Amino acid sequence: MPKTPHVGEDELLRRAVRGDEDAFLEIYRAHQASLYRYAVRMSGSPWAAEEIVQEVFLTLLRAPSKFDSARGLLGAYLFGIARNRVLKHLERAPREVPLEPDSEANAEVHGSQADKLAHMQTPAAWAERSQLTEHVHEAVLRLPPDFREAVVLCELEELSYKEAARLLDCPIGTIRSRLHRARALLLAKLEMWRSVPRRATAR
């Protein structure tokens, strides 16, 4: 398949709306992965994340005129749609089932890190670390949506405070505050989890 010549996002979108599959695929490939990572980390559900991403691109094609390149990049616009869909999903299903340790989405997002740990540590040590990682992700999924979003964007997606603030359309101080409080909650949750084996041993 011949590559689509490098053109601006607004021109790619115009071509995609007219039925240019190559133009649509270029848009899709540029943004699908990051949107999916955000959606699956926020929802804890690969199925929901796939539905959300599909809705994002359908919305784009159905109402392309809503994207204004003068106001920002296409990626930021798509993220805004994804964020609205995620928040609606969380309102409908606030207690989504957490990711299973062996789920395909979890393996895709965290597989490379787990492989490195497996090579660097003994099997027993890796098993303990793997269990801790599972608890971390479960704890993130149980954070309030605002706090969870700050952790997903700044810790997992590794965006700067400025980038996260721009995406969420809020002050940088708000991002710092949410992240600080989210970390405190996560540390408390993990300390509670760590204390369970200690209490069991003491008995």
Q: Which domains does the chain have, with CATH numbers?
A: 1-97 (1.10.1740.10), 109-203 (1.10.10.10)
What is the reported pLDDT for 174?
93
Question: 26-56: string of b/e by CB count within 10 Å (b at 16+)?
Answer: bbbeebbeebbbbbbbbbbbbebbeebbebb
Predicted confidence band of residue 106 (pLDDT cuts 50, 70, 90): very low
Q: Is-contact 104 116, C-beta < 8 A?
A: no
Instruction: Provide φ and ψ at 37, rounded to 5°.
Output: -60, -45
145 in helix, strand or coil?
Answer: helix
Measured CA to CA, the distance from residue 193 to residue 132 in angstroms comes to 9
Global pTM exceeds 0.85: no
52 within 8 A of 5, measured Cβ to Cβ: no
Q: What angle do CA 173, 175, 178 make, to 5 degrees?
A: 110
Largest pairwise CA distance in the chain? 70
> Could you read off the pLDDT of 26-73 as tens digits, one per residue?
999 999 999 999 999 999 989 999 999 999 999 988 888 898 888 889
Residue 150 has which token pair?
């700050």
- Report pLDDT for 70: 85
**How many residues would you count in the chain?**
203
Q: What is the mean pLDDT of the segment spanning 87-92? A: 89
Residue by residue, DSSP assigns 103-139 as: -HHHHHHHHHHHHHHHHHS-HHHHHHHHHHHHHHHHH
